[in-house]
Chains A and B, each alone.
Chain A
């Protein structure tokens, strides 16, 4: 049977789409990684590639701007439009649609910060650039200052890592066969509320709104347990505190109702759901199974103006989970400058061998 040209094109598109959807998530990410690498010249490939066991590079992430804590790899500003598009396609391939949107909103917040605060060498003071001397150069803010790096060789079978981050963002994505591990990951935003194309954007809206909703759903006795009587000025397990587990505090979810536990799971999904759907589903199944041993603790204001972010610190901690949400009191409105941390202290960077 012969098809005319007009009929063949939709069939080819359809076949190509089904081939793409038939790919496993890991195959899709590896393909995007190889596509990105193919757009680079030799020098760029050298800059973006690290050994899988490069501990220095693995831990080279922070909440701080790149002029203060230099990153390595290739910055978005180092890339031409096609390379940048391929880099973002790679990041997108490893994330869920909402996760990728969050990343874009965090980067756009930093662009807003650049436009409102300028981008001088304030933080750099002569040492701003990354170790390879590329990009950065003392600039503090903006979407050009986000770095991509690969640890190990992109593979469907062997373990490797994709890192992407800059100011208020550190995605550490370990790919180990079909496993995808997102811990440790740092998200944040400054400003955590801004306007783009006439719309109000809050990159961490879910993290804020869902948490205050849970607090408001607690009864008086539960609130007494959940609300800590002391101030928390910052993340406890931020950058440089890999693999540590602090004693949990607050209200244990075994003392919550089913509805409250579901709300807690929903808050957790704001972090666990950043990675692509199948990895997120596996992680959420693990965290749901441990929900009764998961704790919720709150410190700070217990009210919020609708449409704004909370100004309170909160922590969610389970056997394989630490989440911290920490507004920053750095001379401005803390609800507009937020750092968050997402960890599995037993499996940071996917170090734990896969269960057989």
Chain B
């Protein structure tokens, strides 16, 4: 019996032919954390054994069997370029913090994990914020997972997380207590000044009535 037929026979008999390692997907797990003025993220990219040829062709572009520093940087740039990140509708530019690549052999075996860390500065905004993270990298073979870490800053509270089925689209709504928006900073002032303004108006009408112009 040929090896492939033997393997098929084992599968039919036992139903346990699934391999021990990731197979036909490119797992891309992202963990996001938000802080007062920045966001940090880590993407762990793990190619399955059967999609490894697709991926290595994208990384080892000169096909010499070695991932050079230039190829690492170029691939990392492509991963970041395939992301769209925005806060309150304003696009954010991710800045690379670090990138670690495993050995080619490790990726070939389905255990190699590329780990890319990046951050982005968050412009000031109101108390209610909406961060959108979209990942289009290798979408034909990707299995995306996106999550937010519990904020370290107690003044930040996560309100909701929304995703599409594949998790290529992720929306994070959060509230920040110190929000430096004009609406928040001066809200107390406008609220407290309203009765004073009404009183001043009443007084001026009364004075006008008491001292009519001649």
Q: Please name all residues of chain B whose beta carbon is closer than 8 Å to the beta carbon of A116 when the two chains form the complex.
A: 10, 13-14, 16
Please determine whether B145 and A244 come into contact, CB atoms closer than 8 angstroms. no
A200 at the binding interface (Cβ < 8 Å): no
Q: Is A356 an interface residue (CB 8 A)?
A: no
Residue A147 at the chain B interface, CB threshold 8 Å: no
Interface 0/1 of A62-104, CB less than 8 Å to B = 1011001100000000000000000000000000000000000
Given A233-B143, A332-B11, 6 other A-B contacts at CB below 8 A? A68-B109, A190-B16, A191-B16, A230-B165, A246-B149, A331-B19
Contacts of A247 on B, CB cut-off 8 Å? 147-150, 158, 161
For B17, the chain A residues whose CB sits under 8 A away are 117, 331-332
Q: How far is the CB of B65 from chain A (nearest CB, A)?
A: 14
Name which residue of chain B comes closest to A113, CB basis.
Answer: B16
Cross-chain contact of B18 among A167, A236, A249, A330 (Cβ < 8 A): A330
Interface size on A, residues (CB 8 A): 41
Question: Interface digits, A23-58 against B, CB 8 Å rule (1 contact, 0 not)?
Answer: 000000000000000000000000000000000000
Binds A, one of B20-28, B72-80, B199-207: B20-28
- Tell me the complex Cα distance, A331–B145, Å: 19
Contact of A69 among B111, B150, B166 (CB under 8 A): B111
Cβ-closest chain A residue relative to B169:
A230
A141 to B16, CA, bound (A): 13
A232 at the interface (CB under 8 A from B): yes
A252 lies within 8 A of chain B by Cβ: no
A155 within 8 A of B: no
Q: Assess the B105–A230 pair: CB atoms within 8 A.
A: no
Nearest CB of B to A304, in Å: 16
Cα A41 to Cα B19 with chains together (Å): 37
Are A140 and B31 interface neighbours, CB within 8 A? no
- One digit per residue, 1 when the CB lies within 8 angstroms of any chain B CB and 0 when it does not, for chain A 312-356 equals 000000000000000011111100110000000000000000000
Are the C-beta atoms of B111 and A68 separated by less than 8 Å?
yes
Say yes or no for B47: interface residue by CB 8 A criterion: no
Question: Which residues of A are in contact with B by a Cβ distance under 8 Å?
Answer: 62, 64-65, 68-69, 112-113, 116-117, 123, 125-127, 140-141, 167, 190-191, 194, 229-234, 236, 240-241, 244-247, 249, 328-333, 336-337
Cα separation A141 to B158 with both chains bound (whole Å): 43
Known contacts: A64-B21, A230-B166, A336-B18. The answer to whether A125 contacts B109 by CB under 8 A is: yes
Q: Which of B48, B108, B110, B145 has the most CB of A within 10 A?
A: B145
A123 close to B109 (CB less than 8 A): yes
Residues of B within 8 A of A64 (CB): 20-21, 111
What are the 8 closest A-B residue pairs judged by CB atoms, nearest first?
Answer: A332-B18, A233-B143, A191-B16, A246-B147, A230-B163, A116-B14, A330-B23, A245-B150
Chain A residue, CB-CB nearest to B162: A229
Q: Do residues A336 and B20 form an inter-chain contact, with CB atoms below 8 A?
A: no
Q: For A240, list chain B residues within 8 Å (CB).
A: 44, 113
Contact A233 B18 (CB under 8 A): no
Of B21, B149, B166, the contact of A330 (CB 8 Å cutoff): B21
CB distance from B184 to the nearest CB of A (A): 23
A28 to B143, CA, bound (A): 46
Contact partners of B25 in chain A: CB under 8 A: 233, 329
A234 touches B15 (CB 8 A): no
B13 cross-chain contacts in A, Cβ below 8 A: 116
- Given A229-B165, A234-B145, A247-B147, A123 and B16 contact (CB-CB distance below 8 Å): no
Can you sample 8 A-B contacts with CB below 8 Å?
A127-B105, A190-B18, A231-B143, A244-B31, A331-B18, A331-B23, A332-B11, A336-B18
